[in-house]
Amino acid sequence: MKKKVLAALVCSMMLVGQLSAQGLSSAESAVGENGFSLGYVLGYAGEFFLGDLSDFVPQTHGFWVGGTAGYKALTATLEASMGFGALDAPFVHDGPWIMGDNVMTGQVGLTLDYALYNGEYLRLAPMVGVAGCSLINAELDETSVDALRLMAGAQLDLKIMRGASQEMALFGLLPMRVKMDSGLRLRVFMARNFYKDPCEGNSLNVSLGWYQKL
Question: Rounded to an integer, what distance in angstroms lies between the CA atom of residue 4 and that of residue 71?
Answer: 28
- Asked if 72 contacts 35 with a C-beta cutoff of 8 angstroms, the reply is yes
3-class state of residue 11 by DSSP: helix
- Asked if 192 contacts 202 with a C-beta cutoff of 8 angstroms, the reply is yes
Residue with the larger pLDDT of the pair 77 and 94: 77
- Highest mean pLDDT pick, 3-7, 43-47, 98-102, 192-196: 43-47
pLDDT score recorded for residue 169: 58
Give 147-162 pLDDT, tens digit per residue: 999 999 999 999 998 7
Q: How many domains, in total, are found in the chain?
A: 1
Mean pLDDT throughout 181-197?
A: 91
- Kindly report the CATH number assigned to the domain that includes residue 134: 2.40.160.20
Distances (CA, A) of 123 to 8, 36, 56, 71, 180: 27, 16, 36, 15, 15
Lowest mean pLDDT of 42-51, 53-62, 74-83, 111-120, name the range. 53-62
| 86: amino acid identity, one letter | A
Give 20-36 pLDDT, tens digit per residue: 444 333 333 344 445 78
Lowest mean pLDDT of 66-80, 95-109, 165-179, 181-195, name the range. 165-179
- Asked if 114 contacts 126 with a C-beta cutoff of 8 angstroms, the reply is yes
- Domain span at 67: 2-213
Residue with the larger pLDDT of the pair 119 and 66: 66
Question: Rounded to an integer, what distance in angstroms lies between the CA atom of residue 77 and that of residue 87?
Answer: 30
Work out the end-to-end distance of the chain between its first and last CA atoms, rounded to an integer number of angstroms: 32
Question: Rounded to an integer, what distance in angstroms lies between the CA atom of residue 4 and that of residue 2?
Answer: 5
- pLDDT exceeds cutoff 70 at 197: no
- pLDDT exceeds cutoff 60 at 18: no
